[in-house]
């Protein structure tokens, strides 16, 4: 996959995160589904495009163009949500964004078709006439039951300390960091453990002003001030507004996908440590960032790869639902699961491609 295609997909993912920070949000479940699909495609292509460099020029350009078009529709959606709330226009923009993402999904299948092992499993699964409507749904809301990870994070969050605690979650792309942070965050909102909540997704292309804007947008429902940057407002003034929103309150903040110690140095001063027992979850791919940002009293949480057995069980569940895999497909399925390198999102994407390949297989036959 070309660098420009990858950058276009990352930009699209950031836009979707920004929309999810809005409250109240129309079409929330559809947008979460779109978010999960885009992030899964990114993770999948990071792996598979390296194996099939010959597809880069054509497929990379098509993915870039489709991602840019989807970005335009999501930007239009964001503008409409912030202004007119025109239901017909909102539906149209969201439908068009889904159409372009579905096209990228199909391009991902083109890459996967070059993987002989996965192609063989698709062929045999199709010939076994598995009923794909039996209830095996590929969704990202619970990619994996991160029960042990969730328990560890919550233990750190709820330890008896009034000091601000920074809790980093570390692991490579596709291993489930954001999913774990999202589950922790949403569980806490349901339990009303904190007074105020905020979420901001960063990226390798970090800009402080963008992060401040995302935090203010996320904090909008807790404050009486306008979340958008006021006319002539400086970055320092935005930072002051964020700080004052947190001051004197017990807050939970997620800083998702932080890439550098400099980014943390830029942000840490906006989080008051006033003895209210506040917590910050950081997700990062870089252990040095986690060590640098983490509280001295807590160690970072390292996400583990799935074992081969766990990978196979997840793939089997996503393809066959409550049914068992036919015996003649088990060995082949385990081979495909091994090739996913223990990454949950990659396994989910591969399962989705296999489940959605019926029409393609009929054409080949």
Q: Give exposure, 67-94, as e/b (b: 16+ Cβ within 10 Å).
A: bbbbbbbbbbbbebbeeeeeeeebeebb
State the pLDDT at residue 75.
84
Distance, in Å, from the CA atom of 65 to the CA atom of 5, rounded to the nearest integer, reads 8
DSSP assignment of 239-275 equals HHHHHHHHTTS-EEEEEES---HHHHHHHGGGS--SS
Alpha-carbon distances, residue 111 vs 60, 117, 145, 279, 348 (angstroms): 10, 13, 29, 42, 16
State the pLDDT at residue 134.
33
Distance, in Å, from the CA atom of 267 to the CA atom of 127, rounded to the nearest integer, reads 55
For residue 24, say if its preceding peptide bond is cis, omega within 30 degrees of 0: yes
Q: Please state the length of the chain.
A: 365
Percent of the chain with pLDDT over 70: 75
Categorize the per-residue pLDDT at 296 as very low, low, confident or very high, splitting at 50, 70 and 90: low
Mapping DSSP to helix (H, G, I), strand (E, B) and coil, where does residue 166 land? Answer: strand
Q: Domains in the chain, start-ordered, CATH in brackets?
A: 1-114 (1.20.5.4130), 147-302 (3.40.50.300)
Task: Dump pLDDT digits (tens) for 336-355.
Answer: 888 777 877 778 777 877 77
Categorize the per-residue pLDDT at 49 as very low, low, confident or very high, splitting at 50, 70 and 90: low
Residue with the bigger pLDDT between 365 and 132: it is 132
State the pLDDT at residue 121.
66
Residue with the bigger pLDDT between 232 and 138: it is 232
Categorize the per-residue pLDDT at 361 as very low, low, confident or very high, splitting at 50, 70 and 90: very low
């Amino acid at each position: 996959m070309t660098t420009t295609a990858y950058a276009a997909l990352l930009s699209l993912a950031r836009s979707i995160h920004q929309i999810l920070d809005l409250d109240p949000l129309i079409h929330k479940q559809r947008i979460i589904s779109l978010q999960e699909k885009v992030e899964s495609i990114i993770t999948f292509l990071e792996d598979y495009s390296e194996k099939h460099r010959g597809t880069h020029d054509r497929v990379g350009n098509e993915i870039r163009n489709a991602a840019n078009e989807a970005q335009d529709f999501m930007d239009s959606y964001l503008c409409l949500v912030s202004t007119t709330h025109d239901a017909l226009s909102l539906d149209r923009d969201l439908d068009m964004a889904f159409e372009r993402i579905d096209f990228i999904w199909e391009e991902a299948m083109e890459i996967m078709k070059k993987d002989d092992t996965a192609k063989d499993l698709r062929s045999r699964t199709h010939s076994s006439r598995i009923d794909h409507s039996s209830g095996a749904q590929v969704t990202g809301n619970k990619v994996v039951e991160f029960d042990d990870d969730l328990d560890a994070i919550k233990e750190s969050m709820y330890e008896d300390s009034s000091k601000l605690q920074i809790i980093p979650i570390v692991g490579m792309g596709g291993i489930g960091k954001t999913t774990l942070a999202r589950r922790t965050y949403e569980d806490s909102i349901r339990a009303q453990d904190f007074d105020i909540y905020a979420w901001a997704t960063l990226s390798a292309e970090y800009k402080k002003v963008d992060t401040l804007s995302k935090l203010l947008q996320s904090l909008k429902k807790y404050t009486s001030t306008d979340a958008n940057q006021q006319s002539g407002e400086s970055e320092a003034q935005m930072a002051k507004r964020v700080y004052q929103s947190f001051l004197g309150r017990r807050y939970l903040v997620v800083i998702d996908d932080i890439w550098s110690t400099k980014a943390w140095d830029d942000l840490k001063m906006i989080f008051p440590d006033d003895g209210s027992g506040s917590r910050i979850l950081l997700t990062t791919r870089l252990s040095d960032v986690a060590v640098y940002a983490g509280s001295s009293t807590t160690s970072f949480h390292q996400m583990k790869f799935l074992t081969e057995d766990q990978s196979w069980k997840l793939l089997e569940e996503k393809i066959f639902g409550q049914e068992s895999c036919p015996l003649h497909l088990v060995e082949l399925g385990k081979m495909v699961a091994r090739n996913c390198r223990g990454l949950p999102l990659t396994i989910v994407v591969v399962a989705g491609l296999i489940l959605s390949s019926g029409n393609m297989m009929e054409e080949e036959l």
